[in-house]
Copies of this chain bind each other. A is one copy, B any other.
């Protein structure tokens, strides 16, 4: 089976998430990274491309040029990864979709709802694949949790507690990562709510399968002078009657990337945290709590399919991210070459992205109304 060809917009020298996408694409040997518009700065674009071994003619200085050129090449890219700040998602995404090239895009979907809707239109018009890298849904145990909830292991869900605390913005700080994330021109109106709140919200929705009916949010900015929020407290009401809480923070000393999900049903609960992603606690009411492990006893089909190595040898963040790239490869091979799709292949996509945008908007709207309930 031939490798697929990947291009990238953004991700030049000094970037964080671009390198993650490249490692994730590389891990399973399904992708070759062959082209990029890695920076809007031509010199940095060139230096970055050379450092990464791209052929000179496939180092582009604008995404428009790249979309056109790659679409025209017989060996053009199969998909492009968009790893720019939020306000630079829509332009490239629409250009590549319109050029007939599948898109793998970082989250949140865009910096404004208008951009998001334009992207949605482009996806629908083009018929191309659109994959949004809500990467935590790639963890094997999150796949397993979703399967366990769906098949009723927990009974009807009552309570969902999800949180994503970080500490890196505890103080005012200026660096490449912090600057755009705290600049509403580039990140959109949401700060913490968009950067990590959407991850927490997506993961809870993904695993439980619950639809959010309404939310009430108390959104705060603790660091003086910061233009966007850095802490959110959200109450959630789900269809079917479940209730939940979501906390995301960038000012919580001691937390590096403390994503944690807990789900309580009529019969049982699940608890998982990214800090120890290879285990999940499963508590059936009236029985001892069980520690489920990735690849260990009780592993479900959905988890086993995306597991690479034996239980006890930890997989991590890059493996989960890589699973999205492996799934993307399967989806593209199916769409473009008719290769049968293995059971269970899935990635977050446009709908998840639109839901994330609604989440950001609803949190900000609720908070502006003193935490009034906003229908979702």
Measured CB to CB, the residues of A under 8 A from B are: 1-3, 16, 19-20, 22-23, 26-29, 33, 51-53, 158-159, 161, 163, 166-167, 170-171, 216, 218, 220, 222, 231, 233, 235, 237, 241, 243-245, 247, 249, 251-258, 264-269, 271, 274-278, 281-293, 296-298, 308-319, 370-371, 373
A-B contact pairs, 9 of them (CB 8 A): A2-B53, A158-B220, A233-B243, A233-B245, A256-B293, A274-B314, A288-B292, A315-B318, A370-B373
Do B3 and A29 have beta carbons less than 8 Å apart?
A: no
A158 close to B29 (CB less than 8 A): no
Interface contacts beyond A20-B309, A253-B268: sample of 17 additional A-B pairs, CB < 8 Å, sorted by A: A2-B53, A16-B309, A22-B29, A29-B53, A218-B235, A220-B243, A222-B266, A252-B264, A254-B268, A256-B310, A275-B314, A276-B314, A281-B291, A288-B292, A288-B297, A290-B291, A371-B373
A170→B266 contact, CB < 8 A: yes
Shortest beta-carbon contacts, A-B, top 9: A256-B312, A254-B283, A257-B312, A314-B316, A313-B317, A316-B316, A288-B290, A253-B285, A253-B269
- What CA separation (Å) do A276 and B247 show in the bound complex? 23
Given the complex, which residues of B lie within 8 Å of A235, measured CB to CB?
216, 218, 233, 235, 371
Q: Tell me the bound Cα distance from A290 to B282 in angstroms.
A: 10
CA distance A289 to B254 in the complex (A): 6
A53 pairs with B1, CB closer than 8 A: yes
Q: Judging by beta carbons under 8 Å apart, are A231 and B167 in contact?
A: no
A345 to chain B, nearest CB (A): 18
What residues on B are CB-neighbors of A265 within 8 Å?
253
B251 touches A159 (CB 8 A): yes
A332 CB to closest chain B CB (Å) equals 16
Nearest B-chain residue to A231, judged by Cβ: B159
Q: Which one of B52, B53, B247, B257 contacts A245 once the chains associate, using CB atoms below 8 Å?
A: B247
A315 to B317, CA, bound (A): 6
Establish whether residues A283 and B253, one from each chain, have CB atoms under 8 Å apart when the complex forms: yes
Q: How far is the CA of A249 from the CA of B159 in the complex (A)?
A: 9
Question: Residues of B contacting A317 with CB < 8 Å?
Answer: 309, 313-315
The interface residues of chain B lying within 8 Å CB-to-CB of A312 are 166, 255-258, 274-275
